[in-house]
Structure 1
Amino acid sequence: MKNIKTKINTLAVVSLGLFATSCSEDNFLKQESPTNPPTETAITNEKTLEIAVKGLYNLMQTNSDGSQNSYGALIPTLNELLGDNGFVSLRNSNRFSATRQPTLTFFVRQSGDIQTLWNSLYKIIANANYIISKEGTISDDITTEEQTPQNLFAQAHLVRAMCYHTLVSFFSDKVGGANQNLGVPIALKYDPSQMLPRSSVQAVYDQIKKDLDAAQAINEVNQAYAGDPSTKTKLLGKAALDMMYSRYYLSIKDYANANVYSQKVLDNNKYSLLTLGQVAGFFTSEQQPETIFELEYTSNDQPGANDGITATWYSGGRYRQNFATRAFYDQYSATDVRKAAWYSLTGVGSPSITTFPDVPKPVDVKKYTSPDQDIIIFRKTEAVFNQLEALYYTDPASALTKLVAWVKTYRDPAYVFAGTGTALLDEILKQKNMEFFLEGFRYTDLKRNGRGFTNPQTTVTLNPGMKEFQAFPVPLQEQNANPNIQQYPGY
């Protein structure tokens, strides 16, 4: 985080990949023995509570060795490479190369990426658990700026809800799908000895709802430091909470409430939708009015050339190997402002991507081009698509009208579409991916809606009847450490 010199250090615990905050009132860099619980004096006042909550945001980033990797790079990467519109070039560093294999060799218990995702999310949860355990014990410090203990604890609850939502989205089948008894373990307290079994999918979503409800004290707009408006998008606030509610309700198929909470975000005048004329400069300038929450990176706080999202995705990055498919690029019409703004057929650097051995040739993604560029987690336009998906299931005529109006107004003045039935759902999801490619949605969107696919570049095929489409395997390391956890059938 910007201007934050002290960060939360963590201690590994074998079961569940759990980690606990280790800190003292003045120094959050002190390490405890891995067998000891966090010190009781770690969070003693509002100042240390605030530092601990900021530590959660640090843990959501990708660090310099890639061992902590979730929202900052790994989640958006997997959503595209495991979907139908992204691929790893034949010219690659071996990173993520298993995702391009039609034999589905990525989906194995030994996958380092799956292990990293599991560990990283449970590490964030463990730190959130420790923070939440102090709820009710910290008094308000009237000398501090606009934060309060209630708001800080609300942020911790929202972070925990986000992590459990991501875990159950990847490691379990959708609501109503196969093996509903196999959600993910629900850890709510620090206990190094616990070896938790998997809770049901319903129980995990119930816990997500409890955390969202517990986050109601969150600020309308987080302006944690008076006179510094740049903090507005760096901390989770009311709009982010409403967006998470809309994601949650879509996941449990409560489309009426998904519509309600999407509309709450759209009605929030603290943020404004990205317009036709703002598309070209959106990813090149931070603090945009469209952005609700983003992970901050600076020159002093970045993942480095090997591990950030630009390392593999941008043609100017070190490995320049992950790309959009030409079939995806060709979905954009010549009048769609996103086409030239966010994608390139030539890229930058040497050798040119036009010389790569892939057929068709790769399409460069220009959203993230610098390692210290902030990674967007919530932006207002997502509420448009959450609402469209909800309306597809409850009022498809309205969904069609709103879809056409939004695309024509905000992205492509020449846009025409009149499809119905599943063609309308596919168009909603297609337009969402055209808007949010590499922002963390495609694979889980397809899975949630039961839309199988074949990637035109790699020929990887997934459908709802396949275990690989239903759930990731529990990592082998976790199975070895925790005898109480059940593997997903087929792995």
Structure 2
Amino acid sequence: MLVGMTIVSSCGVDTFPESQIVTEEQKADISAAIPDRLKADVTGMFSVIGNQFCVFGATSSRDDDAGFPTVCLSQDLNGPDMISDNSNYNWFSASSKYSDRIYTYANPYMRWAVFYNQIKLANDVIKSIDSATENPVLKVYLAQAKAVRAFDYLSLAPYYQFKYKGNEDKLCVPLVLDYLLSDDPSYNPRATVKEVYEQIMKDLDAAIIGLEGYTRVAKTEIDQQVAYGLRARANLYMENWAAAAVDAEKAMTGYPFYSKEEVSQPAFNDITDANWMWGLNLTPDNFTDAYPSWPSVLGSFSGDAYSTGVGSYKDINVLLFNKIPPTDVRKGWWVDENLHSSNLSSVSWNGVSGDAVAKLVIPDVKYAYNPYTNVKFAQYGGPGSTQNAGDWCIMRSEEMLLIRVEALAMSGNVAGAKTLLESFVKGYRDPSYVCNANDATALQNEVWFQRRVELWGEGFSMSDIMRLGKPVVRYHNNKESNFPEAFKFNIKANDGYLLLRIPQRETNNNKGIPESSNNNDGAQPVSGDNPTLRDGITD
């Protein structure tokens, strides 16, 4: 399952940067484009990243191929805060041990193709619409497609090159647009970091204008506030602090936060929640197979899953868990060393309730939880359900709040940022919270801690590591560690092995990406590496 392999098939929506635009039967002339014909294309553009087997196809039977949610899981397992078992049942062990930097492996190809496939669909929509159209429906479709394309590049760029500042002229990923960039479609070299972000900002600027006044029909779509949220992320990555603060405020306006009561039980699976700004609606009707789904590998309540059925749970690093105050409601998002969690007080499964659920063993269905197993995420049908379905959040108001706090602090308004952070945490997570950070750097580190707790399991771990220039610290040489021995290592912030490699399928076909330019620095970490390394948060 985890051996190196060259991928030879997908599900028919392939985009390969070497050809810039994948040629299928072309759309009708721009002048003939009509909203009714494009409606299905736009719907497919939004939904494709939530499909099962969306990269490799159903015949591959790859249970790690569940689109964007499992990409997020891979990225978090690269980081310091999420732990899984070292076993043959763990489809994502490649990410935990960093063998996903081997460019012949399936996992890095999946994390590449999910986004380039969606870029292909966005480009199809963009090239089907006259840029000067006055049709209000087409203007919205055009804006949404540009926002989707920007989201995809934002989901790629942080992992193929180090942070934006200081690395603007280094190579990132190839740009694939709705028009050819060169006369030779088989030659499409990696664009620089600056070029990629220029395209992201160009698309988002246009999207924000094009979505003015538009009211979407569902949270699976992008509206103007979501576009502002994406631009807030981009500005955060680029360290455009003042702009990031403004965009985050515009994005989150009108969206409340999860209350303490709402997150005092398993949650984070319902797109109708008031704080969700954008997400994937993944109902049981979307899932023909139980296993390639995020509840099967990240959740802890399924009656037919890898996590529960073979004990391949996703746990929090004890170093981070121990830093969460006992008065913080988020402490209950994981069971403690005694398998207790206040989040389980409302949970019943197979005739037992509360902490007994953590200890419950059902042969071939559920193992007892590990210490520090997550109980953050609920699923459709409740505990014991075999549906393995649940909506996936791509953007919520709490992320925007934390962007705004960091951006305010780094743009000089430390006092305002501190007040905003204290108001959020005291009001919604920990009534005893006091922020002791008194300068911009300290407050940025405090926000990083809050993001590591608040957004755990949602795919932000490594993008934060990369944009902040931080090391990956999984263990201390003088403290306990709950990482399996094979995954127990630390990685320095400037180690070239943090960068993902361009997949072999791309380098084989793209003359613009020779092997010499494929992020070849560094070596795969091994158990025990860098025992004295610290990150300033879990010290």
Select 2:242's aligned residue among 256, 261, 270.
256
2:291 to 268, 283, 306: 306
Number of residue pairs aligned between Structure 1 and Structure 2: 448
AA aligned opposite 2:211: I
- The whole-number CA distance in structure 2 between the counterparts of 1:213 and 1:179 is 20
- CA distance in 2 between counterparts of 1:303 and 1:156 reads 28
Equivalences for residues 198-277 of structure 1 within 5 A? 198-215=190-207, 216-218=209-211, 220=213, 222-224=215-217, 231=218, 233-266=219-252, 268-269=253-254, 271-277=255-261
Q: For residue 164 of structure 1, report the CA deviation from its aligned partner.
A: 0.8
Q: Report the CA distance between 1:420 and its aligned residue.
A: 4.1
Matched, 1:295 2:312: no
The change in CA–CA distance for 1:468 and 1:303 in structure 2 (over 3 A counts) is: farther
**Unpaired segments ≥5 residues, structure 2:** 1-10, 58-64, 340-357, 381-387, 476-482, 523-539
Question: Aligned partners of 2:466, 2:185: CA distance in 1, in Å?
Answer: 34
1:47 alignment partner in structure 2: 36
Q: Kindly indicate whether residue 71 of structure 2 is the aligned counterpart of residue 75 of structure 1.
A: yes
- In structure 2, the residue matched to 1:227 is none
Q: Any residues of structure 2 matched to 1:19-418 within 5 Å, and which? A: 36-40=24-28, 44-64=33-53, 67=56, 72-101=68-97, 104-136=98-130, 148-178=137-167, 180-189=169-178, 193-215=185-207, 216-218=209-211, 220=213, 222-224=215-217, 231=218, 233-266=219-252, 268-269=253-254, 271-280=255-264, 282-283=267-268, 285-302=270-287, 304-317=289-302, 318-320=305-307, 321=312, 322-340=314-332, 345=339, 346=358, 350=362, 354=368, 361-370=371-380, 371-395=388-412, 396-418=414-436
Distance 1:137 1:17 in 2: 23
Partner Cα distance (1:150, 1:63) in 2: 30
Whether the aligned pair in 2 keeps the contact of 1:265 and 1:383 (CA below 8 Å) is yes
Choose the corresponding residue for 2:508, options 444, 455, 480.
480
| Gap change, CA 1:257 and 1:39, over 3 Å in 2 | closer
In 2: Cα distance, 1:169 partner to 1:40 partner: 36
Q: Retained in 1: the 8 A contact 2:406–2:443? A: no
Question: Given the two structures, how large is their TM-score scaled by the length of structure 1?
Answer: 0.83
Separation (CA, whole Å) in 2 of partners of 1:14 and 1:163: 14
CA offset at residue 347 of structure 1?
7.1
1:446 equivalenced with 2:465 (yes/no): yes
**CA distance in structure 1 between the partners assigned to 2:291 and 2:249 by the alignment:** 40
Counterpart residue identity of residue 381, structure 1: E
Any conservation in 1 of the 2:186–2:511 contact (CA below 8 Å)? no
Q: Are the structure 2 counterparts of residues 12 and 254 from structure 1 closer, same or farther at C-alpha, using a change threshold of 3 Å? A: closer
TM-aligned CA deviation for residue 341 of structure 1: 5.1
Alpha carbons 1:138, 1:149 under 8 Å: kept = no
CA distance in 2, matches of 1:221, 1:336: 38
User: How far apart, in 1, do the equivalents of 2:264 and 2:55 lie?
Assistant: 30
My pick for the range that moved more, 85-94 or 162-171, is 85-94
Q: Does 1:427 align with 2:446?
A: yes
Task: Give 3-state SS (helix, strand or coil) of 2:459's partner.
Answer: coil
User: Deviations 1:279-330 (Å, cap 9, x if unpaired)?
Assistant: 2365354411111111111222137322111121123341112332233333
Aligned to 2:351: none
List per-residue Cα deviations over 1:40-78 (Å, max 9, x = no partner). 279831012121111111212142466385763133212
3-state SS of paired residue (1:363): coil
One-letter amino acid matched to 2:519: Y
8 Å CA contact 2:271–2:392 kept in 1: the answer is no
Q: Deviations over 1:63-95 (max 9, x none)?
A: 246638576313321231111110221345141
Report the more deviating stretch, 341-350 or 111-120.
341-350
Q: Report if the CA contact (8 A) 2:54-2:114 is conserved.
A: no
1:286, 1:251 → 2: CA distance? 26
Partner AA of 2:331 in structure 1: K
Deviation at 1:206, TM superposition (A): 0.3
Q: Cα–Cα, structure 1 residues 242 and 349, in superposed 2: closer, same or farther, change >3 Å?
A: farther
Contact 1:347 1:364 in 2 (8 A): no
SS of the aligned residue for 2:393 comes to strand
> Cα offset for 1:412?
0.6
Q: Deviations over 1:195-224 (max 9, x none)?
A: 311111001000001100111212556333
* Coordinate RMSD, CA, aligned: 2.9
Aligned-partner Cα distance in 1 for 2:233–2:463: 11
d(CA) in 1 for partners of 2:166 and 2:96? Answer: 26
- Of 61-70 and 460-469, more deviation after overlay is shown by 61-70
Residue 467 (structure 1) aligns with: 496
Q: Match of 1:28? A: none
Please tell me whether the aligned partners of residues 299 and 379 of structure 2 are also in contact (alpha carbons under 8 angstroms).
yes
Identity of aligned residues (%): 23
User: What letter corresponds to residue 221 of structure 2 in structure 1?
Assistant: L
Correspondence for 2:474:
455
Q: In structure 2, do the counterparts of structure 1 residues 307 and 347 end up closer, same or farther at CA, with 3 Å as the change threshold?
A: farther
Q: CA deviation at 1:463?
A: 2.4
Stretches of structure 1 that go unaligned for 5 or more consecutive residues are: 1-8, 21-34, 142-146, 225-230
CA contact (8 A) 2:49 2:118 kept: yes
Worse-superposed segment, 438-447 or 322-331? 322-331
